[in-house]
Amino acid sequence: MSARGIRRPLAVLWWVVMVFLYLPLGVVVLYSFNSVNSAANFAHFSLRWYHRLFNNPQIIDAFWHSILLALISSVIAVLLGTLIGYGMYRHRGRRRLGWIIALIYLPIVMPDIVFGISEMTFFVRFNQLTGLLSPGLGTMIIAHVTFEIPFVALILYSRFVGMDPTLFDASRDLYAGPVKRTCHFIIPAIKPALISAFFLSFTLSIDDFVISFFTSGPESTTLPIYIWGAIRKGVSPEINAIATLMIGAVAVAALLSLALSWRRSSQRQ
């Protein structure tokens, strides 16, 4: 079969996959603008549900909890994950590195419900013994940092491995101290990986439900938790509006990351 004959079925398959992925999201977005509370009929275009959404204090609080949780946990995860990734790179020739990588992969492959239950059990027991870390935003931040760090560490480790090792020796030969090497060489060199790791951590935190559910408190409800509680009464256009805003937020983050990548590529050219 010729290359042209293969290209056409692949193009059809690509469009089928895209429709399968994005058509459900398009339906959610469409019915968030429905003027009536109906999943079967679309009456006419209306911003009624968005108006109700922005006048609901519970949803507003859940939104800010989600943003605050994602920002704080992502920053901490990037800082700690970068240090772990650099440590893995510095000791990449040792035999124990394989065990360390296996331990880092464990939270990634572990089911969320197992991870969430283990975090909840630890926090409850720790609170009983010390009176600290009662369920709330603080425990959620710790839990999110815990499952975000492996992603950050692996991204940064891959970036360090892809760098020329002689550059580190060259910076030492030019009498650059640890602080100057970090500020003028290491951080600029790994900046794309840092940005990617931050956006990935932010997205993982915003989308997370299971771990947040098991580690949250009564005053730290996030948007996914609020949606889960609301859909038990049925999916309303107000829930569709929340989902649409979340889709938009993730899309904006992805577009920003893509724009930064394009800008770096154009600067190199």
Whether residue 104 is contained in a domain is answered as yes
Higher pLDDT, 70 or 263: 70
Q: What is the pLDDT of residue 26?
A: 85
At residue 1, what is the residue type?
M
Alpha-carbon distance of 26 to 20, in angstroms, equals 11
Read off the pLDDT of residues 67-100 as tens digits, 9 standing for 90 and up: 899 999 999 999 999 998 888 887 776 777 777 7
Whether residue 195 is contained in a domain is answered as yes
Whether residue 30 is contained in a domain is answered as no
| Share above pLDDT 90 across residues of the chain, in percent, rounded to a whole number | 10
Interval 56-60 mean pLDDT:
84
pTM value is: 0.79
Domain count, the chain: 1
Q: What is the pLDDT of residue 144?
A: 92
Interval 205-220 mean pLDDT:
85
Q: Does 181 have pLDDT greater than 70?
A: yes
Interval 229-257 mean pLDDT:
77
Average pLDDT, the chain: 81
Whether residue 31 is contained in a domain is answered as no
Whether residue 191 is contained in a domain is answered as yes
Q: Does 65 have pLDDT greater than 70?
A: yes
Burial class (CB in 10 A: 0-12, 13-18, 19+), 23: exposed
Higher pLDDT, 142 or 261: 142
What CATH number is attached to the domain comprising 253?
1.10.3720.10
Provide the angle, in degrees to the nearest 10, between the axes of the packed helices 187-207 and 137-161.
140
**Rounded to the nearest 5°, which phi and psi values hold at 30?**
-60, -50
Range of the domain at 154: 57-258
Whether residue 135 is contained in a domain is answered as yes
Whether residue 81 is contained in a domain is answered as yes
Alpha-carbon distance of 62 to 51, in angstroms, equals 16
Whether residue 37 is contained in a domain is answered as no
Q: What is the pLDDT of residue 3?
A: 58
